[in-house]
Amino acid sequence: MQILNVGIQQAKEIDAFGSHGFLLRHVGLTTGATRASLAYLQPGGCIARHPASGQQLLIALSGTAEVSGADGQFAPLAVGQAALWQPGEDHETRTAAGLTALILDGEFDIHPGSPRE
C-alpha cells in the first residue's frame, strides 16, 4: 500500500480561462490516459467556461456548486451527484459556499447507470 498526499496543501492555483478561487491537485494518470484530480473551489470560486478535453466527470465530495454544459444553463450540484461532460463540450462550475470534487478527465467512456458484470 502507498499513502498519497492529495490535500489542498499540495494543490496549485488555476486561473486559466478566467477561473478564480480554484485549486487543483493532480492525483495520477491511468494507463488509458485518464487523469484523476481533486478540485478545491473556494467560496465564490469558479472553473470558468471552457471545452472539455476528453470525457469529463466531476463528482461532488463536499459542498455545493452550480454546473453548466453546452446550453449554458446552470443546474445545482450537491454531494452524491456528478456532472458528466462530453469531449469538446463547453462547461463551467461555480460555487457560492465552496466545493471539493474528484475530477476524472480523459480517455474513458462512462455509461451512466450501466452496471459492469
Q: pLDDT tens across 53-86, in order? A: 899 999 999 999 999 999 999 999 999 999 999 9
**99-106 and 90-94: which strand pairing?**
unpaired
Task: Give the whole-angstrom CA distance, residue 20 versus residue 31.
Answer: 31
Tell me how far apart the alpha carbons of residues 89 and 87 are, in angstroms, rounded to a whole number: 6
Q: What is the pTM of this model?
A: 0.90
Contact 45, 93 (CB under 8 A): no
Rounded (5°) CA angle 81-75-96: 85
Could you state, in order of their start, the residue ranges of all structural domains in the chain?
Answer: 22-106
CATH topology of domain 22-106: Jelly Rolls (2.60.120)
pLDDT tens per residue across span 92-108: 999 999 999 999 998 87
Query: How many other CB atoms are there within 10 angstroms of residue 5's CB atom?
Result: 7
The three-state secondary structure class of 19 is: coil
